[in-house]
Every structure is written in structure tokens, then in C-alpha cells.
Amino acid sequence: MTGDVCLSVEHVWKVFGTRPDKAIDMVGRGATREEVHEATGCTVGVRDVSFDVGRGETFVVMGLSGSGKSTLIRCVSRLNEVTSGRVVLDGQDLTAMSDDQLRQVRRHKMSMVFQHFGLFPHRRVIDNAAYGLEIQGVDKDERYERATRVLEVVGLKGWEQSYPQQLSGGMQQRVGLARALTVDPEILFFDEPFSALDPLIRRDMQDELIRLQETLQRTIVFITHDFAEAIKLGDRIAIMKDGAFDQVGTATELITEPATDYVQEFTKEIPKAKVLTTAAVLKPGQGAPNGRTVRLDDTIEGLLPALLDDDSEIWVEDSDGRTVGVVDRQAVAKALEPDR
Amino acid sequence: MTDVLQPTDVALVKEETRRSRFGWWWLALVAGVILLQFLVTSTAVPPLWDTVISGPIDQFATWARENRQIHPIFTSFFIPFSAAVDWGLTTIESFLKWLPWFVLPLVVFLVIFRTGNWKMATVAALAMVYPGLVGLWDTTMETLSLMAIAVLIALAIGIPLGVLSARRPSVERLIRPVLDAMQTIPAPVYFIPVVLFFGIRRVPATIATVIYSLPPAVRLTTLGIQGVPHQSVEASDMFGSTPRQTLFKVQLPMAMPTIMTGINQTIMMALGIVVLATLLGAGGLGQEVLEALSQRRTGRGLAAGLAIVAVAMVLDRVGRSLAFADRTRPASRRYVITSLLLVAGAIVVGRAMGWATFPEVWEVSVFDPVDTAVRWGRDNLSFITRPVNDFIVAGLLIPVRDFLTLTVAWPVLMLVTGFICWRLKGVGLAIFSVFALLLVGLIGMWALSLETLTQVLAAVVISVAIAIPVGIWAGRNRRVDAVLAPILDALQTIPSFVFIIPVILLFTVGQVPGIIAAVLYAIVPGIRITALGIRQVPEESIEASQTFGATPRQTMFGVRIPLAAPTIIAAVNQVIMMVLAMVIIAGLVGGGALGFETVRAVTRGETGLGFEVGIAIVVMAIILDRLTNAWAVRLQPPTPSH
């Protein structure tokens, strides 16, 4: 990771049980999770995971249930203590902090959105949203003002005086989102925030998050079990399996160069034309431009009509309008071929 | 495939070995029983330790009586403490008596009306007026003030303790068995040590009430806090809350409905014991009942009993409307202010007009007609009561008692009890019960305990025979349930002591009224819990059974009852514990056995005897409770082992 690193996770292990050292040692010598559990009674939740997240980046960890993704985010946010390894946020080692120091970091730098929302049913929507500020000791007028503003941003204007249980699931998670945003955190953790919602609402919430992120530019670590969601939201995506990362990369990298069969299993289900951009099928250009051009970040789906009309190549420009290469039917067909 | 089969095979093999071993142990048991029955001719444990426990305790009691005014432990702790409690009592009592009488019904109405239920509010307010109508206003205020101070102390201790035990597993581990024991022990047992330290009259009654009503406050506070969704607590932590902020801003408010339920239960238990505490000379409504019954002034006893019922009903309704208030519709500020103004106005006007005590002219005299009616009932209903009485005495009590006390050699009884404990629960309970029973015998409580056990068994058999079928019926049939639910609701709020009144009116004194009262008292939870168990059987399981073409009967015995079995046994557990409590209380009205000895020990200050009786009762309570609990656990279908 180049550029400004916000969060850095270094060799994090999480072992549940009484003999973590032995368990780590066994894993190091190639034992499987089952063998470790059999021998030590310990469960290996997270196995030597390292990654960096840049400022403003959305980093998605995708894995199925039992892959350790939730354990990982709980370790990173220190809801669980790591067994070994470090989590560094803005140069400060979270794992080495005292409870008091951690509390200060949580008050001012990080927020979390939970899978089952974790709202406070005894508080009105506005008091839920203002909770973080209340904890910091911000006075009532200011915290209500800030909470009201954030509630408006997430589309809950007019619901301030309601109680969470009077709202629909999607709206409840908007409260969860507002509560996380009100404290103006540097980094946001999302622990499967949309998986309890039905598919249409889920899509709305994903779009909402993308829209918010365009203006907010926060650092986000997002956990999901939904590969499509990961592709849609993530600048980079880590595929997690058995407590470790199988592959980390952009959506295009995962689809075009899956590192393992496991990763490929997920990419099969993905409508590639909607995800891959022209960049993924770019060829060096030859000859003179023929007047047909597309942009480098257009999806393949967008060029299909033009390619089907006319089989001549299409010229590709980058965001500055410079020609960088061509695409043709053959390249697109190859990229979209199933089961590569 | 082999992968799938293996675990099943293993389980089958285990099951097989378990069964065959079980067979062997049964043989060993039978052999042991025969052997011991021949070897030992005595049917009671020789009371070798007759004075080992009672002697020193009596000495201590004598010492305490002589030194109560002098010794520092009394002058520096118990006496000031008593004085403080007594001051609190007097203050509350004089305040309640100072209030114009109609203020309490008004408050009751306003609190319940807040939930929008004006019918309930009116009924409860009228019930609050009732004690005045029968001339028991001041007596009721005495009972209420005793209860109020006991509840305040219980909550002041119980809620913080509950919070602490929810937050520290070590504290919970420490106090859970204590609370378990406190809830298993019948209330009068507490009177004995309390009398020793605080003497008689109101203060010990308060202390006994506090002890008895403490467990629900602690338990439900812990339960409420532990029941707060983990995510809400973590969300709070993630915003950098201190543990104190999380407690006060998230955990306590979210646990409030459960805590309020705990407070409600604390109040109801306190009322139950306050009327019993009349044994300690605490006065109040219980005293009224007891005196009336002993003087055969039936009408008065009934009127006082109904006053207790009315107070119980009012307290329960008020408690519930506070506990289940809809949080999303908080009482409007205007309602609260209007209510407060109304109450303040009522006080001012009432005091100005001198209407503090209940107007005598309103009191109605119902006693004479009631006396006549009851006499008529006793004389003319004997064609029912006589056979019932004879059946219980000759058909149940005498054969069982004679079998236990005259036929079975005492080691046999211990062996069998130990064996059952071991099979159902484990070696620990078996060892405990054998030694505990031995202790009961050695201190000379063997025969009395068996007599009490006989009464308990008789009442349990009758209760279960009624409660389980009715419970199953109510669990299956919505209409039956709709009829029964309000009746059971009402019965459940009535303090145990009150059940004795109608029974004793019809059956006069003796063992039978106690047993019938115990049955009436115990079938209520028996029916409720059984119905609950039947109703909780998942609809899918029922439907699955039906799709295979099962008849309703097959579904009942093949699916519903087996799945509800753990809950039904939990109902039996409740029945046993309530019967035991009632059989002890029935000692007040000639039930004999341990109950009578308890009453004697408390009223005559025979502390040593009291402790011995207490030990016997506690041992019986613990063994019966643990056994039925273990049985219920056994019937639980195995859960996935994660």
C-alpha cells in the first residue's frame, strides 16, 4: 500500500481457548483448524492476517460464515483482544493501549455499524444518533444540532422523535449509520451492516453508502459475506477463508486473476460485464483512431451495443482524453467467457 | 457414508452400555433394600444428637435474651438497626394514616389509568376502598407500611447486588446458590433466626420479609442486564463509553422492564410474608385473620382475608402498569402534572375537612350474615366435605405415613433416596442427601419429617392429578385458556396464607384443610406452566406429525407431551415447592408435623427446636427441588454440543 496509510494490521492472530501458543505453533507447522482443535481445544479464529488501509479507502473483507471475518473486525476494533500481532491506527498501536487511551480513540477516531444495528430501543432516534457526542460530554444543544444534520444526510429528516422500533429495518440501519457518522470518525467499521436487510433495501443502502462516501471520503473497513456487495463497494477486497486471506485485490483483479479455486468460485456468479471496466480488456492500439472511443473506466456492458453493431475496434481514452489502447470483440468475448 | 454413520453408531453403543449398567444397579438396589430391611429393625434414626444442635442454640438464645440490652453486639448493631427500621415503619405508617383515605384509591386509579385502561383503574381503585368498608382501614395501613419498608430495603440491597452479579461472574457464582436456597426454603423458617437476633414484633417481621423478597429483585436485575443485547453494549463501548456510562445510559434503561417485573415480584412476595409475619406479633391484616379464625368469628376472618386479596390485586395491577408501560408512548407531561395536582388537591382538601380516617358510617357489617352462611355451609355441606376428608386421611395420609414410619427401616429409605439422587443428578446430590437425612434423623426430626413428607406427597399427588390434565387441556384449547387465564392470574397474586381461610371454614382444623389449601395454592402454577409447555411445542413439529397422518391422540402422546415434558416437570417442581411451603404454613391451623413445631418454636421462643425443624425443612426442600430439577433437565432433548 502506497500513499497515506490510515490503518495497518500486522500479523494478527486470534485464538480462542486456553493454549493459544501451542495452537499458533501447530498452525505454523501446517496443521489444519480441525487438527488444532482436536489437539489443543483451541479454535483459531484469525490466522496471521496483515493488511493496510489507505486514508479514504474502502477495504472490504469478504468471507462465508466461519471464515473469521467478524472475529477479524472485532480484533481490529479491539472488541476482542488479539492473541498476537498489532493494529496501528494513525501511528498509534491500538493493541498496546490502556482502557482509558482506547476509550479516547473510540470517542474521537472510530465508529462501528453493527449487523443487527445494536440500537438503543429506549432512546429516540435523535438520542441514538447523538449517543457518541453525549458520551464525550458535548452539551445538549450542540449534539442535537449535529445529530439532526447527520440524520438529514442519511434521509431520516422528520423521524428524530421516533423510537427505533417504530422504523423499518432499512431505516433502523440508517440510524445506525447516523450514530456512527455523528462523531465524525476517521475510520468506520461495518460489520455486515446490510445482511439483515431484504435485497431491495440492501441495494438502496449500498447506493446510499457509495453516495455518502463520495462526499465524506472516510476510511472504511467493511465486512460482508456477499461477494456482489464486496465488488460493488470495495476499492480493494480481501477474500477470507479459514481465518486467513486467500487473495487481496481490486474487483477487476479478483475477477480476471483469481488466485485460488476458492476465489474463482465466487467470481463465477458475478455478471462480469457489469463489473469489469474497459481497462481489463485493453489491448495496445494499432493504426489510426476510427472515431469510436470509450473511456477507460466505462464498464464492458456499456460497450457491448457498439461492439455488436460493428466489429471494428474501439479506441480507449483515459480520464485526461489521451488514447491508451483499443478494445475489440475478441478481447471482450475472452473476458466474459464463463469458467475461465 | 461411513463418516455420517460413525457418530450415530457411537451414540447407540453408549446408549446400550448405559442401559445395561442401569439394569445392574437396579438389581444391586433391590438386594441392598432387602438386606437392610432384614438387618435393621428400627424405623427411625436413633436421635443420638438430640441436643447437639438445639442445646448450644438454646444456650445462645438464653444468653441473647439476657444480654440483649447490655452486650455491645446488640447495643452497637442490632438495637440501633432495629431502631432505624422501627423509625422508618412508624414514619410510613403515620404518613399513610395522616393521608386522607381517598388519596390512595386516587393514586391507584391515576397510575393504572395512565396505561389507558380505565376499567382496570376503576376496579383497582374500588378494591383499595374495600378494606375501609369492612372497618380494616388502619389495619391495612399497618400492613402496607410494614410491606413498604421491607420492599424499600429489599430493593436497596437487591438491585445493586443484581447489577454487581450481572457484571461480575464471580459474584454471580457466589450468590446464585444462596438465592436458590433462599427461594427453596419455606418462609416461616426465616422467622426462627430472625427472632433470635431481633426479638419479636415488627422489626423481625420486616427483616424476615426483606430476606424472603430479596431474591426476585436480585435475580431479575441480573437477568435484565444480562438480557441486554450484546450488540447494544458493544455499540456503547465502541463510542468510548466508560463502564459506568454504559451501565446508566444503556444497560439499566434497557433492563428496566425486567427490573420492574422483579420489583413487582418483590412486592408480591413481601405482601405474602407480611401477612404471615403476624406470627411474630407484627399486627396487621394477618393478625386479624388469625384472631378471627381462632375465635371462630368467621365473617371477620373472611373479610380480613378479602382485604388481603384486595391489597394484593391492587399492588399487582399498579406494579404491572408501571412495568409494562409502553416506552414509545411515555406519559405526557401534562398527565403527570395534572395527576400530581389532583393528588395534592385531594390531600389539601381532605386534611382541611378532617377526612383522614375512613368514615365509619360507610362501614358495612357483613360479618353476621357471613357467620350464619358459613355455619350453614359447615353443617349442610358435610356430605361433600366429610367424604373428601375421609378419603384424604384414610386413603392417602395414613397408609403412606404408616408405610414410611412403621414399615420401612430407616437405612432403606436413605439408600433409596441416595440411589434416586445418584441416578437423576449425580454422586454429589446422593452424598448430600444421605448425610443430610442422617443429620435430620440424628437430631430427632425423623418421624416429624416423614409426617410432613406424607402430607407433601398427598398434596402433590392430588395437585398433579388436577394440574397436569387441566394444564394440557388449557394448553391445547384457546377457549379454555381464555376462561382460565384471568382466574389463575387472580389466584396467583393471592398470598398463600389466604388460601387457608375458606378451607378451614368448611373443614375445621386438622391436616386436611392444610392439604386442600396446599392443593389450591399449588395447582395455579402447575396448570400455568403445563399449559405453557404444551403451547411452546413448535407448530412445525405438530404439523410434521400431522402430515404423517397421526391422530390427535398420537400427536399428543408422541410429540406434544414428550416435547413439553421438561416444562411439565418444571411445573411439578413448582407444585412441590409450593405445597411444601403451604404444608408448613398449615401448621398454623393444626396441620401438625414440622409446621406445627415451627409455629411453636417461633411463638414460644424455643429457638433450638426451631433450628432443628428448620434444618429438617431445608433438607427436604433442597432434596425435592434438586431432584425434580434434575429430572426436568434429563428430559430435555440433547442440544448440539457447541
Interface membership of A41 toward B (CB under 8 Å): no
Does residue A4 lie in a domain region?
Answer: no
Whose CA is closest to A304, among A337, A269, A332, A339?
A332
Q: What is the interface pTM, i.e. ipTM, of the complex?
A: 0.81
Does residue A112 lie in a domain region?
Answer: yes
Chain B residues touching A193 at Cβ < 8 A: none
Interface membership of B234 toward A (CB under 8 Å): yes
Same-domain check for residues B334 and B345: yes
Chain A residues touching B242 at Cβ < 8 A: 103
Which pLDDT value is given to residue A86?
Answer: 92
Q: Does residue B126 contact residue B362 with C-beta atoms inside 8 Å?
A: no
Number of domains in chain A: 2
Which pLDDT value is given to residue B212?
Answer: 85
Same-domain check for residues B297 and B373: yes
Asked whether residue A304 carries a pLDDT value surpassing 90, the answer given is no
Chain A closest CA to B6's CA: distance in Å?
17
Which pLDDT value is given to residue B26?
Answer: 80
Same-domain check for residues B499 and B486: yes
Same-domain check for residues B321 and B351: yes
Q: Which of B233, B236, B238 to mutate to test the interface with A (most CBs of A within 10 A)?
A: B238
Read off the C-alpha cell for B84: 432505624
Read off the C-alpha cell for A329: 470483440
Interface membership of B242 toward A (CB under 8 Å): yes
- For residue B256, what are the domain limits? 74-378
Chain B closest CA to A29's CA: distance in Å?
27
* Closest residue on chain A to B250 (Cα): A120
* Closest residue on chain A to B253 (Cα): A122
Same-domain check for residues A110 and A188: yes
Q: Does residue B285 contact residue B311 with C-beta atoms inside 8 Å?
A: yes
Q: Does residue A68 contact residue A80 with C-beta atoms inside 8 Å?
A: no
Which pLDDT value is given to residue B4?
Answer: 43
Tell which of A251, A270, A289 closes a domain: A270
Asked whether residue A60 carries a pLDDT value surpassing 90, the answer given is yes
User: Any idea which residue has 408501571 for its cell?
Assistant: B322
Which pLDDT value is given to residue B15?
Answer: 54
Chain A closest CA to B113's CA: distance in Å?
22
Tell which of A244, A270, A296 closes a domain: A270
Which pLDDT value is given to residue A322?
Answer: 79
Does residue A287 lie in a domain region?
Answer: yes
Q: Which of residues B497 and A170 earns the better pLDDT score? A: A170
Of B231, B241, B254, the CB nearest to A135: B241
Asked whether residue A339 carries a pLDDT value surpassing 70, the answer given is no
Does residue A192 lie in a domain region?
Answer: yes
- Whether residue A135 and residue B234 make contact (CB cut-off 8 A), yes or no, is no
Of A103, A162, A166, the CB nearest to B240: A103
Q: For residue B586, report the phi and psi dihedrals to the nearest 5 degrees.
A: -65, -15
Does residue A39 lie in a domain region?
Answer: no
CATH of the domain at A313: 3.10.580.10
Of A107, A118, A122, the CB nearest to B229: A118
Same-domain check for residues B317 and B400: no
Interface membership of A77 toward B (CB under 8 Å): yes
Whose CA is closest to A238, among A58, A78, A95?
A58
Interface membership of B235 toward A (CB under 8 Å): yes
Q: Does residue B425 contact residue B434 with C-beta atoms inside 8 Å?
A: no
Q: Which of residues B402 and A51 earns the better pLDDT score? A: A51
Same-domain check for residues B314 and B209: yes
Q: Which of A43, A114, A195, A223 to mutate to test the interface with B (most CBs of B within 10 A)?
A: A114
Average pLDDT over residues A10-17: 90
Same-domain check for residues B311 and B187: yes
Give dist(CA B203, CA B220) in Å, integer. 26
Same-domain check for residues A215 and A302: no
User: Please, which pLDDT band fits residue A148 given cuts at 50, 70 and 90?
Assistant: very high
Chain B closest CA to A166's CA: distance in Å?
8
Does residue A321 lie in a domain region?
Answer: yes
Same-domain check for residues B500 and B518: yes
Residues of chain B falling short of pLDDT 50: 1-8, 641-642
Chain B residues touching A165 at Cβ < 8 A: 328
- For residue A213, what are the domain limits? 49-270
Interface membership of A165 toward B (CB under 8 Å): yes
Tell which of B328, B361, B378 closes a domain: B378
Same-domain check for residues A242 and A298: no
Interface membership of A334 toward B (CB under 8 Å): no
Which amino acid, residue A162? S
Same-domain check for residues A131 and A80: yes
User: Please, which pLDDT band fits residue A3 given cuts at 50, 70 and 90?
Assistant: low
Same-domain check for residues A251 and A290: no
Size of interface A-B (CB pairs under 8 A): 73
SS (H, E, C) chain A: CCCCEEEEEEEEEEEECCCHHHHHHHHHCCCCHHHHHHHHCCEEEEEEEEEEEECCCEEEEEECCCCCHHHHHHHHCCCCCCCEEEEEECCEEHHHCCHHHHHHHHHHCEEEECCCCCCCCCCCHHHHHCHHHHHHCCCHHHHHHHHHHHHHHCCCCCCCCCCHHHCCHHHHHHHHHHHHHHCCCCEEEEECCCCCCCHHHHHHHHHHHHHHHHHHCCEEEEEECCHHHHHHHCCEEEEEECCEEEEEECHHHHHHCCCCHHHHHHHHCCCHHHHCEHHHHCECCCCCCCCCEEECCCEHHHHHHHHHHCCCCEEEECCCCCEEEEECHHHHHHHHCCCC
Which amino acid, residue A219? T
Does residue B129 lie in a domain region?
Answer: yes
Kindly report, residue by residue over A193-215, the tens digit of the pLDDT: 998 888 888 898 899 899 888 88
N- to C-terminal Cα distance for chain B?
A: 23
Give dist(CA B121, CA B110) in Å, integer. 7
Same-domain check for residues A107 and A161: yes
Same-domain check for residues A108 and A192: yes
Same-domain check for residues B371 and B385: no
Number of domains in chain B: 2
Asked whether residue A80 carries a pLDDT value surpassing 60, the answer given is yes
Same-domain check for residues A243 and A298: no
Same-domain check for residues B356 and B259: yes
Which pLDDT value is given to residue A144?
Answer: 93
Asked whether residue A183 carries a pLDDT value surpassing 70, the answer given is yes
Same-domain check for residues A206 and A232: yes
Chain B residues touching A117 at Cβ < 8 A: 231
- Whether residue B234 and residue A116 make contact (CB cut-off 8 A), yes or no, is no
Same-domain check for residues B372 and B351: yes
User: Any idea which residue has 485493453 for its cell?
Assistant: A282
Which pLDDT value is given to residue B2?
Answer: 39
* Closest residue on chain A to B248 (Cα): A135
Does residue A233 lie in a domain region?
Answer: yes
Q: Does residue B274 contact residue B146 with C-beta atoms inside 8 Å?
A: yes
Interface of A with B in 171-200 (CB under 8 A): 179, 183, 189
Average pLDDT over residues A15-20: 87
Interface membership of B641 toward A (CB under 8 Å): no
Same-domain check for residues B128 and B271: yes
Same-domain check for residues A176 and A87: yes
Which amino acid, residue B625? D
Of A103, A120, A136, the CB nearest to B254: A120
Interface of A with B in 106-135 (CB under 8 A): 106-108, 110-112, 114-123, 131-132, 134-135
Q: Which of residues A336 and A90 earns the better pLDDT score? A: A90
Does residue A284 lie in a domain region?
Answer: yes
Does residue B66 lie in a domain region?
Answer: no
Residue A297: CA count within 13 A, CB half-sphere: 4
